[in-house]
């Protein structure tokens, strides 16, 4: 039996592919196979083997009245509308996320002050749940921090307002 030389080209190719995959995409995909096991509200879910996930870049009204209502009230959204939209956002997530296998793209920083993973949540069809909630008028753009999809989210919110979807159905137009 003759000794064959080790194919060093294969090692070089494998190393190059590894480096390309590490730098090819700015996305930091965490888990291509996480199933949503629970929906807490419009912007917080539970994903198997991950834990609580806060949808990055959005805010939805709370199910119960809170001090956070003041932001929406300044925008002309009534308390009655806030509670309805909070329920609608919850039901939207139950319908579109619960039991579904999602892909998570973590944010920077990766966790919020409550220890929840901050992430963009992608549905099996590739659509982003965070953006869908804004497009349906069920969420607003979280403006306190910068994040990768901020401009896209702001444009979607502007369209939802103009077309009077969800939160914006009865709110006065902003100038």
Residue 60: closest CA among 129, 3, 145, 10: 129
Residue 24 in this model has a pLDDT that exceeds 50: no
CATH class of 27-168: mainly beta
So where are the chain's domains?
Answer: 27-168
Give yes or no: 116 in active site. Answer: yes
* Residue 82 structure tokens: 């806030």
Annotated catalytic residue within 46, 48, 54, 84: 54
Instruction: Give the pLDDT score at 121.
Output: 97
Residue 144 burial (CB count, 10 A): 5
Residue 162 in this model has a pLDDT that exceeds 60: yes
Task: State if pTM tops 0.85.
Answer: no
Residue 159 in this model has a pLDDT that exceeds 70: yes
Residue 129 burial (CB count, 10 A): 23
Contact 77, 157 (CB under 8 A): no
Q: What is the DSSP string of 55-68?
A: ETTEE---SS--TT
Instruction: Give the pLDDT score at 170.
Output: 76
Cα 36 from Cα 46, distance rounded (Å): 6
* Residue 105 structure tokens: 């793209």
Instruction: Give the pLDDT score at 79.
Output: 95
Contact 42, 95 (CB under 8 A): no
Q: If you search the block for the tokens 């920083």, which residue do you land on?
A: 109
Annotated catalytic residue within 105, 116, 135, 161: 116
Residue 37 in this model has a pLDDT that exceeds 50: yes
Residue 19 in this model has a pLDDT that exceeds 80: no
Annotated catalytic residue within 4, 46, 62, 101: 62
Give yes or no: 54 in active site. Answer: yes
Give the pLDDT confidence of 67-96 residue by residue, as tens digits.
Answer: 999 999 999 999 999 999 999 999 999 999
């Amino acid at each position: 039996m003759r000794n064959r030389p080790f194919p060093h080209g294969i090692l070089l190719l494998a190393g190059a592919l590894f480096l390309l995959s590490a730098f090819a995409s700015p996305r930091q995909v965490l888990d291509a196979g996480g199933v949503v096991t629970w929906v807490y509200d419009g912007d917080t879910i539970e994903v198997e083997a991950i834990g609580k996930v806060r949808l990055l870049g959005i805010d939805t009204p709370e199910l119960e009245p809170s001090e956070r209502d003041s932001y929406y009230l300044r925008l002309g959204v009534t308390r009655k509308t806030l509670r309805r939209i909070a329920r609608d956002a919850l039901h939207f997530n139950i319908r579109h996320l619960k039991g579904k296998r999602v892909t998570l793209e973590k944010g920077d920083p990766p966790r919020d002050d409550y220890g929840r993973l901050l992430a963009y949540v992608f549905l099996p069809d590739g659509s982003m749940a965070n953006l869908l909630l804004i497009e349906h008028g069920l969420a607003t753009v979280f403006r306190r921090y910068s994040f990768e999809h901020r401009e896209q989210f702001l444009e979607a919110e502007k369209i939802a307002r103009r077309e009077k979807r969800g939160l914006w159905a009865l709110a006065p137009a902003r100038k």
